[in-house]
Amino acid sequence: MSAADLVGDQLRDEDERVEPRAAWRAADAAADHGILSGTRVLDLSRVLAGPYTAQILADHGAEVIKVEAPAGDETRGWGPPFEDEGATSAYYQSLNHSKENICLDLRTDAGREVLGDLLAGADIVIENFKAGTMARWGFDYDTVLAERHPRMVYCRITGFGVDGPMGGLPGYDAVLQSFGGLMSVNGYPDGAPLRVGIPIVDIVAANMAVSGILLALYERDRSGRGQLVDMTLLDSVISLLHPHAANWVSGGAIPQRTGDFHPTVVPYQVFSARDGDFFVSAANDRQFRSLVGVLGVPELADDPRFVHNGERSRHRVELAAVLGARIAQWDRDDLAERLERAGVPASPVNDVAEALTSPQVRHRGLFLDTDEYRGVGVPISLSRSAHRSPRPAVRRGAHTEEVLAALGYGPRRLAELRSSGVFGDG
């Protein structure tokens, strides 16, 4: 008998238990918070890609319960800065808002029994355990969960997958940037390879995982069955290699680092304006003609060295020198306004504070500063379906007894679990 099979026998007390599917709930489950309202998500993940996947689903109404180990998701300690009087890092807060949180020690039989009940009520499960962990606990997807819960969509996020020459190896964002070729094309030609300044592999993996989950839900509407969404960080980083992979496939040359230059479009780079850095893109001949007109050197548009992108690419160093000397005479905001009117894509290189507080970002609701929540807003807008207003991440285990009581756990059994240490504070 598996750990999940023991639930009905070992967890009953004087209170009658209810069907997990009917009772599994979040604090605001009754409210319509978006297109995924009523969808139940069990978030068994930690660090970044998994928690961010679950948070995106929560933003659009899904009822997400995050299960955290007694030691806590390690990102709670990834600071400074810290919030909640030093208890939780801003890093953790940004990946775990709008979730319920329960604490379970899944190393124990009793903790895994509770996990069996939670799994029984979930539409979607997200986990990024070491390969084989769920199977060792009696919850292998292919041989157990798919049969027991045929409508479940199960999202597994790993570094390299669970099979193949590197199957089961752990994955970390920077390691995958290195292994997957991304680091080799990031940086300046005369410098070392650079890590992209955000955890881009994890972030893209999360967004791809959400896409996979939604595709699986769509297919479930037709077939009545869930399936495995097998997401890896390796998949994510390889998908990011545009246009470098295509260029190598076509031409055979190994792509090289080009700094802030685009490998094929010229000009497409950062220049120094009078009061700071300024980015310019002129991706076609019309934009280039408009750019040089604003800069007061219209004759460059008819110069044989620069008349088309191919010529501009071959003479990019000479062109950059001429454009750089002109742009250096402008203030960033003035030049941005003039180029915008001329139809040339360009922008000051804003720092994070400037970006978040810009009028357009605030207009789009991408930065919220209210009494309840201060942080990045929801970046997906739908014309008819609302989304949830983010609410801050909570302390570890904040809803443990609340959620389990809704599953039918009576006071006596809750007290037993707590005293045994299953909730991490016994």
**Which residues are annotated as catalytic?**
202
User: What distance lies between CA 65 and its chain's CA centroid?
Assistant: 17
**Of the candidates 155, 158, 156, which has an alpha carbon nearest to the alpha carbon of residue 124?**
155
Q: Per DSSP, what are the bridge partners of residue 368?
A: 375
What does the block give as tokens for 145?
């969960």
CA atoms within 13 A of residue 93's CA, in its CB half-sphere: 19
What does the block give as tokens for 13?
């007390």
DSSP assigned state of 16? P
Element of type H or E holding 124: strand 124-127
CA angle 390, 52, 357 (to 5 degrees): 50
Q: How far apart are CA 156 and CA 138, in angstroms?
A: 16
Q: How far apart are CA 320 and CA 317, in angstroms?
A: 5
Q: Is 271 helix (H, G, I), strand (E, B) or coil?
A: strand
- 14 CB-contact burial (10 Å; exposed 0-12 / middle 13-18 / buried 19+): exposed
CB proximity list for 241: less than 8 A, separation 6 or greater: 180, 181, 182, 185
Q: How far apart are CA 192 and CA 412, in angstroms?
A: 61
CB proximity list for 153: less than 8 A, separation 6 or greater: 123, 124, 125, 213, 216, 217, 220, 226, 227, 229
267 preceded by cis ω (within 30°)?
yes
Number of H helices, E strands in the chain: 19, 13
Q: How far apart are CA 115 and CA 162, in angstroms?
A: 22
What does the block give as tokens for 289?
């003609």
